[in-house]
Amino acid sequence: MFALESAMDELAVECGLDPIELRLRNEPAVDPETGLPYSSRGLVACLREGAERFGWAPSDPTPRTRRAGRWLIGTGVAASTYPAVQLPASARVAVDAAGRYRVSIAAVDIGTGAWTVLSQIAADALAVPVEQVQLEIGDSTLPQAFPAWGSTGTASWGWAITDAAQKLRARMRDEHGGTIPPEGLEADGGFAGNPAAQQFSMHAFGAQFAEVRVNEDTGEVRVPRLLGVFAAGRIVNPKTARSQVLGGMTWGLSMALHEESVLDPRFGDYVNHDFAEYHIATNADVGEIDVSWIDEEDPHVNPIGVKGIGEIGIVGTAAAIANAVYHATGIRVRDLPITLDKLLP
């Protein structure tokens, strides 16, 4: 995405077009790679809402025209996309005579809010208050599921939990007249794949905007403002979703300005494999980050309409910052991170 969205910005400059206008004029009707229609595609809405919220000014395209003292000021934009994938998962839902539900799945919470959102999804599927749901995760003896990677967790685990919950409710209705038997009841559920993936191209989308300041004497880059607007299907929990995307954008900032692996060619080993020498963004690097999303319903991506949000916050941020650095300085950086030496005469 860094290479592609940097090239899009360079193309816009060569064409004399605003980079948002360039993207709007070339919005595809189908996925150019597969020829499949999109299950949903909210990129245009994200670009337009993001431009309004950010205060995007297409009338100011010339580099090195805005400054505050010795600081050159620039703004940049980039689109984001990440595939909406689900991996096979299974789950078990049980209920006891007192109406307490136990939901079991070999998922994991790495700090992204899985404990919260999976409990919410289960309660919604069971039509009971979330207080009646006890979630069991983080144990390989539980019903099998893939780990948390590739922005697949909530979509995959939530689908399996929803399927098991629906089967439990069906058993209660068909076998016990809608009541819970004294010995309790349980049901297993899950899925092996999404058949709609053969008919639709499924992605989350976003638009990310950056304002940078570059010191004319030292080449120091500061990012006082980032903004991201995303189209990621149904947002189960706005608070945890905002935190996750905010963290992703911070990660993208880190990618743009700091992160670099240094390889020792003699041994094929990385020499800066600790946090003393591998630099990452810290609080002092992060200014204002504005995160929002558009309302998006996708009936094809999975039964709960969820797309992953783990990576979508990351992938466009570095390009937006690099494009803003070009606007500020007139220097196009194609090799990350954007270090001081790349911006000095």
Report how far Cα 94 is from the mean position of its chain's Cα atoms.
Answer: 32
Report how far Cα 288 is from the mean position of its chain's Cα atoms.
Answer: 18
What distance in Å separates the CA atoms of residue 249 and residue 292, rounded to the nearest whole number? 12
Q: Half-sphere exposure of residue 143, counting CA atoms within 13 Å on the CB side? A: 24
Q: Which two tokens stand for residue 139?
A: 């144990």
Q: Single out the catalytic residue among 5, 49, 211, 311.
A: 311
Task: Give yes or no: 175 in active site.
Answer: no
Q: Give the long-range contacts of residues 146-149, CB within 8 A, separation 24 or more.
A: 146/87, 146/88, 146/89, 147/108, 148/107, 148/108, 148/109, 148/110, 148/112, 148/114, 148/310
Torsion of CA 110, 237, 239, 157, to 10 degrees: 10
19: left (phi over 0), alpha (psi -120 to 50) or beta: alpha
Q: What are the DSSP calls for 178-242, one per residue?
A: TS--TT-EEEEEEES--GGGGT-B-EEEEEEEEEEEEETTT--EEEEEEEEEEE-B--S-HHHHH
What distance in Å separates the CA atoms of residue 195 and residue 199, rounded to the nearest whole number? 8
What distance in Å separates the CA atoms of residue 113 and residue 223, rounded to the nearest whole number? 28
Q: Which of 182, 214, 210 is nearest to 340 (CA)?
A: 214
Is the separation of the CB atoms in 83 and 152 below 8 Å?
A: no
- Other CB atoms within a 10 A radius of the CB of residue 149 amount to 12
Positions marked active-site: 311
